[in-house]
Amino acid sequence: MNNGKINFKNAHGFWQKLPRPFFCLAPMAEVTDFPFREIIAKYSRHGNPPVGGGGGGGPDIFWTEFVSADGLDSRGRDKLVHNLKFSKKQKPIVAQLFGAKPESMRRAVAYVATLGFDGIDINLGCPDRSVQKQGAGAALIKTPKLAREVVRAAIEGANGLPVSVKTRLGYNKVEIETWIPELLKEDISALIIHGRTKKEMSLVPAHWDLIKRVVELVRASGKDIPVIGNGDVQNLAEAKARIQETGCDGIMFGRAIFGKPWLFDAKAKVPSVKDKLRVLLEHSKLFEKEFSGVKNFAVMKKHYKAYVSGFDGAKELRTELMNAVDYKEVEKIIKNYIHL
């Protein structure tokens, strides 16, 4: 370690510059899109660059939603590029891709590498059935040889950008003693480990004792790469405790960010109901501005469930919002409630 920075001799790009510990925003389909990342950047960073350590400057790394490598390597690319939009406020940012065809992955990564991202991440953990049917995501845990070929192709196409991997503990059972060493045979720059198997989905608590074992395996391999733990962490205090417990270099937040774009700011005060609803309005307006004609406004409803809870009248207000079809309706409902 040097001045609080990771000193991984084999690290690439921005990974070398990150403070320790660091905190990341997980890639979540139809959740961590461009508008939501903009809201998170505004309310966690206050317009400042990341400072690390959860001191009001996180997240230290943003991730995009996952994007199909096959789709990017096809005539349908234009229908996917909205998933790759980001702003300067969201840097450093990593683009996550999924796919099971090495050549398509190589070409897709080569394209993404021209867009200004700080890194590329390969999804080897998604349990979604449609992804599984393509042999991608968590399905690649069952085919380690192919998984390595996909990762290697990504590294070859990345033009020097660091390539990380996000995966799980195994497919139907815990396989870290065999699966993790396979991944470490490739020149990955970071490893993000979700503390469940594919079979477990999110139905059981994350196995942080096994994440600790993954850290041990990485260190014993001689690979000097950061390990990021993921699973059930609710706040920065818990994240720091998990880091102490496991030896992880960073923590990735997933579902905890719902309705809490200020989560990464350790100095943030608990917002009032009115403040939360104002952020909901701002988020809704930005979503409609960015995605009108591209994404169904109904995507916002999962956010409403999180923003609107824990206060008198929340259930009734939430019911109204679930029936809204656009920002104009949402604005009318919220203004009637908080008398703006």
Superfamily name and number for 13-257: Aldolase class I (3.20.20.70)
- pLDDT at 5 exceeding the cut of 60: no
Closest CA to 67 of 103, 108, 102, 14: 108
- pLDDT at 12 exceeding the cut of 80: no
Supply angle C-alpha 151, 167, 264, rounded to 5: 115
What distance in Å separates the CA atoms of residue 194 and residue 204, rounded to the nearest whole number?
12
| C-alpha of 44 from chain center | 15
pLDDT digits 0-9 by tens, 226-251: 999 999 999 999 999 999 999 999 99
Is the pTM higher than 0.75? yes
**Mean pLDDT, the chain, integer:** 91
* Residues annotated as catalytic (active site), given as ranges: 126
